[in-house]
Structure 1
Amino acid sequence: MTQTLNVDPAELAKFSDLAHRWWDPESEFRPLHQINPLRLEWINGLAPLAGQRVLDVGCGGGILADAMARKGADVLGIDLSSKSLKVAQLHALEAQTPGVAYREVSAEALAAEQAGSFDVVTCMEMLEHVPDPASIVRACATLVKPGGWVFFSTLNRNPKSFLFAIVGAEYVLNLLPRGTHEYAKMVRPSELAGHCRSAGLDLQGTRGMQYNPLTRHYWLSSDTSVNYLFATRKAAVGA
């Protein structure tokens, strides 16, 4: 029986069409370039990356995967967009980034193949683009070693988030291409926390991502009402 991939073809096409612009810091991906140092340092502060085997789920063009490899991690980035992966691989070659590889495979398929293989798993800005986010969370939990860390970031689903992340970011400020986010697919923190609990991941910490359109400045805060990040950990054996 053919397994149905947990992917929205329209979402895949959307990012594939923009793939060649991933590494242009002034392109539609500028926000990712701007927030990357913040999320990288947050991850590295909780789970020091040097010498760790790391998986980046939904890696896109490799902005986070490349940065984690430069922190000394052995990184595998996975995605279902062939074009984005080619861009990521080309950048790694051009930048001579050590310790990073890319593969076109779903999180669920890799979980069946390499359960408990990674010290750290990241899944950033991806859950709000798939039909079944709970399935991705389960796969991440399966892929990480006991005692390992799993990091998520996504968008809250509430009126403020609709106003800021869709109306503001896509239609007023033009920070993102129109249609990047779909309100119904956004994930409330309570929903993500439930998915994590069901998958055996213990929530260790949350952060929110703030943005000032006047200064074009991003920072992390305790406000999770729009963009937010989860740090979770899989129970150690015998714990």
Structure 2
Amino acid sequence: MINVDETEIDKFSQLAHKWWDMSGEFKPLHEINPLRLGFIDERAAITGKQVLDVGCGGGILAESMASLGAAVTGIDLAKKSLKVAQLHSLESGVAVDYRCVAVEELAEESPASFDVVTCMEMLEHVPDPQSVVRSCASLVKPGGWVFFSTLNRNAKSYLLAVVGAEYVLNMLPRGTHEYARFLKPSELSRMARNAGLDMDAVRGMSYNPLTRIYSLGEDTAVNYLMACRRPE
């Protein structure tokens, strides 16, 4: 069985045409993208590297990594999102190889093929996040980097990421997130260890509703990034 929730695929497929609308539902992803990109490039120095973006959606992160000179492959199971990503790639002239394939399938097909693997805001949308983490670990070369981002599971994250972002500030469509699927950093780091990865760093991502500015820091209570490496 493919590790996918069809309800989640449908949810993002209905919004696919808005991926590159800077003032639409995906505005927060555009705003945090420079922070993600900096976190990744600071550690992995992606220029000239083979990079895989798992759950690439409309290609926001994938294109930005390709713009730095990485050879990027983006995979997703939402065909409409991939169509949008492909069209935008043609318009921007930034080449990305997009494929509709499950990460587990690609891991069997092409193990240890990438210098860097990224998986952003996807783990909380799949039935079996451990399977995704394991596949990402399999796809990266020994010595390579794997980056995850997801949402912590606690009262603060529920209030800010669900109630605040979806129902009060209307930053995200209602029903975007299912709180029970959020992952604590301890849970994600355990999944990474079980997959043979060494955790290198964890950084929290915070949003100030007054200044409307996102920043990286030590507070991992809501959204966080995790950098891991596969041992040589």
User: Smaller-chain TM-score range?
Assistant: over 0.9
Corresponding residue SS for 1:54: strand
Mapping for residues 1-239 of structure 1, pairs under 5 Å: 4-98=1-95, 100-236=96-232
Identity of aligned residues (%): 66
2-structure distance, mates of 1:230, 1:120: 13
**1:54 Cα deviation (Å)?**
0.2
What one-letter code is carried by the residue in structure 1 that aligns with 2:58?
G
- 3-state SS, counterpart of residue 220 of structure 2: coil
CA RMSD after TM alignment: 0.4
- Equivalents in 2 of 1:85, 1:109: separation in Å? 17
1:37-65 superposed Cα distances (whole Å, 9 cap, x missing partner): 01001100000010000000000000000
**How far off is 1:133 after superposition?**
0.3
Find the residue that maps to 1:165 and give its secondary structure: helix
Partner deviation per Cα, 1:160-201 (whole Å, 9 max, x = no partner): 100010000000000100000001111111110110000000
Name segments (4+ residues, structure 1) moved above 3 Å: none
CA distance in 2, matches of 1:185, 1:91: 31
Task: Give the distance between the partners of 1:7 and 1:160, measured in 2 at CA.
Answer: 27
CA distance in structure 2 between the aligned counterparts of 1:143 and 1:95, rounded to whole angstroms = 28
Deviation of 1:12 (Å) = 0.4
- Match of 1:56, SS state, is strand
One-letter code of the match for 1:213? P
Partner Cα separation in structure 1 for residue 116 and residue 68 of structure 2? 13
User: 2 CA distance for matches of 1:165 and 1:82?
Assistant: 26
Distance in 2 (alpha carbons) for counterparts of 1:191 and 1:138: 14
Unaligned runs of 5+ in 2: none
Count of equivalent residues: 232
Structure-1 separation of matches of 2:60 and 2:144: 22
